[in-house]
Structure 1
């Protein structure tokens, strides 16, 4: 299904009166502070967040799954769903594929379909964390770190194949996440496992196109609960440095132990020019895959504050980092959840743009923690929703994406088209 421009125009016309007053108010307040509101709105508008193909259906846990109906049963339907999101918010103009869940049978047709929805292909993701029906060797005891060279070679060849699919689609990055690790003390030789992983990554890196990046993800636990071969950002950075300039660290917000200072990690990686991208989500206890900004919105703001603080060109910042969502939805409509996540990410970005950098640096240099905190709190507590709404309306997107999604009863339409039994591929 498609959302028409007429539907969006009618929705925005009805929303205009309620929007004008709060937008005028914040515009006046920001202009008093010397902020160029039109420039700010443009910066908000151009920020795009890639949608993961694996998050478009009902997710689940190791205990159960509750289908929502109307889920995309193939890659074409996944692209259509991302097209719905992008039509609603004009901020979801890229899709990130997971191979082999999303292997295109006709690359040219898939590219044309994406173009029709005004979408591009973001990073492609390899999968060596589960066995596929047609593979010869099992990844039960690891993939790129496995003791058996034949298993490692199988995983290497899979990653190279993923690069080839991505090249055909116009992607520019490979994301590598390994489930490799151990559940029991003594099960794995830590040094040998890391060495084998490094050597395997070298073989994949050698096949990387010259204009690509390899994004190396990390995770402290799960699926292995004693050790992970790449458990933290330091290990990812170590491997990326060994590989070369095209290798970067990918920060998944859920892949940290409780109370980790993620914004400091981000600042360090950004300083070292090794921050390749993000997988956005949120968590209360661990890797919960919750809606971005639903639990720790201030942390999300602080992350963007560090990024903007470390650059002189926000446009270059937006282009140089891969911004992606990685989430799972078991009780929510996944499309509504993704709309909420994109909105939360852009709100955090907009608030970080409002920080008075000159005053903040003065407070830091004069060792004024109260002043510095107040400056950050002032920006964080600003209601930027009218700015985001104005950016969408100027870009011919919906003033209220979820509101229009519900008014059009899109989930009901998807169920009518696809039925109630379809399960999104990869879940």
Structure 2
């Protein structure tokens, strides 16, 4: 398997940290054993955990005002996969990449799949794009796509999604994620009922062409780019559309796509209860859809989301939602942010495995709120870093991924191999 970070460097880095890790791991194991928790069983689950990285996430993000390109940014899908392979090599938690079409459309799908294979990478859910006009596109999406008043525009958007599925089949993907920015900016601009009906009709047509082993994930967002109304603005609209469409049409929850202070963990429970929770886009936010690094603002909320997911999987062990990071890295090295974020999501998952479910159920049943929340906090407050480090170490990853990455000089090598285009604008979001 091709690896872009020198294994000797990785081995040397790990060797310098191995003794301390084993000591910390043993101490944590003894602590957990006092609560009848087998650390080795938790370790195996941590090693099995994975989350996809977005192809677009390895580039530098931006805002509506400006974008400041980073050194050595990938210029095409092949260089994006190079960067994704480094994230996987060091973190050992990101074996899949999610593509965005047409941004990542390859000239030869078989060649792209072979290129990914050399790194041991797979392709996660495919993402369609009808929220912006593309080169040589006949009809504009300025006033909507799958919900547009014009049948011709809707047909164009439907055809694009079907094309994305066909490409995904060639790459080994098993899901299509649909997010549309359709909505309105002025009261009265859009007929609420008609736009929603047109959306449902459009996704039904896409769903009818879906392979039998594929899922369709509907992503909602409360606002932006439409600021007065959005057609698929919350989990309720997403659920209704998914329910109307078919069994393999599911809702996708992006942690940044909600109004401030919304109880996302309860949304997780509701969608799962009725069989419509399909997956997640993980990030964090302070004000709106900030796309900040996962766990950087509210790690407790991330833990509470996984507390619900672990509870769901205990009832249904076969339940396997799609997990993906969806972040915009404006001021950090994207590779570092994605490695760190993958570990933070993995950390929340591991902590959720430590919750005393029997005690929690007892306190819930006997209406003891103090001890119920204390039971969750007991798991959340535990430092599980030795488990995460051991999972990476035993999987041939890096005990300290960011330190190893910086020591490797990979970013400096990319800066030389991928010079910044002086004619490329730095304005606007990517």
Match of 2:221 in 1: 219
8 Å contact 2:61–2:67 — kept in the other structure?
yes
Mark the CA change 1:313 to 1:127 in structure 2 (over 3 Å): closer, same or farther: same
Structure 2 residue corresponding to 1:157, chosen from 156, 159, 165: 159
In structure 2, the residue corresponding to 1:312 is in which secondary structure? Answer: helix
8 Å contact 2:182–2:230 — kept in the other structure?
yes
Match of 2:113 in 1: 111
Match of 2:51 in 1: 49
Matches within 5 A, 1:124-203: 124-203=126-205
2 CA distance for matches of 1:314 and 1:121?
25
Deviation, structure 1 residue 315: 6.2
Deviation, structure 1 residue 108: 1.5
1 CA distance for matches of 2:42 and 2:169?
34
Match of 1:398 in 2: 398
Tell me whether 1:252 sits opposite 2:259 in the alignment. Answer: no
2 CA distance for matches of 1:419 and 1:330?
19
Deviation, structure 1 residue 178: 0.6
Matches within 5 A, 1:300-311: 300-311=302-313
2 CA distance for matches of 1:97 and 1:314?
29
Match of 2:387 in 1: 387
Tell me whether 1:420 sits opposite 2:420 in the alignment. Answer: yes
**Cα RMSD between the aligned structures?**
1.4
Matches within 5 A, 1:348-367: 348-367=348-367
2 CA distance for matches of 1:77 and 1:38?
37
Residues paired across the two proteins, number: 424
2 CA distance for matches of 1:293 and 1:22?
23
Match of 2:327 in 1: 327
TM-score, normalized by length of structure 1? 0.97
8 Å contact 2:6–2:408 — kept in the other structure?
no
Deviations 1:127-167 (Å, cap 9, x if unpaired)?
00000111000000000110010000000000000001101
Higher mean C-alpha deviation, range 3-12 or range 333-342: 3-12
Deviations 1:32-82 (Å, cap 9, x if unpaired)?
211121111010011111000111111101100011111111111111110
Deviations 1:349-371 (Å, cap 9, x if unpaired)?
00000000111111111111111
Deviations 1:74-112 (Å, cap 9, x if unpaired)?
111111110000000110100000000001111111111
Match of 1:27 in 2: 29
Match of 1:372 in 2: 372
Structure 2 residue corresponding to 1:89, chosen from 82, 88, 91: 91
2 CA distance for matches of 1:67 and 1:244?
42
Deviation, structure 1 residue 312: 2.0
In structure 1, the residue corresponding to 2:314 is in which secondary structure? Answer: coil
Deviation, structure 1 residue 314: 8.2
2 CA distance for matches of 1:148 and 1:367?
55
Match of 1:60 in 2: 62
2 CA distance for matches of 1:215 and 1:253?
15
Deviation, structure 1 residue 311: 2.4
Match of 1:289 in 2: 291
TM-score, normalized by length of structure 2? 0.96
Deviation, structure 1 residue 20: 2.2
Structure 1 stretches (4+) deviating beyond 4 angstroms? none
1 CA distance for matches of 2:259 and 2:94?
29
Q: Which runs of 5+ in 1 are unaligned?
A: none
Deviation, structure 1 residue 380: 0.3
Deviations 1:156-207 (Å, cap 9, x if unpaired)?
0000000011011000000000100000000000000001111011110001
Mark the CA change 1:314 to 1:112 in structure 2 (over 3 Å): closer, same or farther: farther
1 CA distance for matches of 2:47 and 2:63?
35
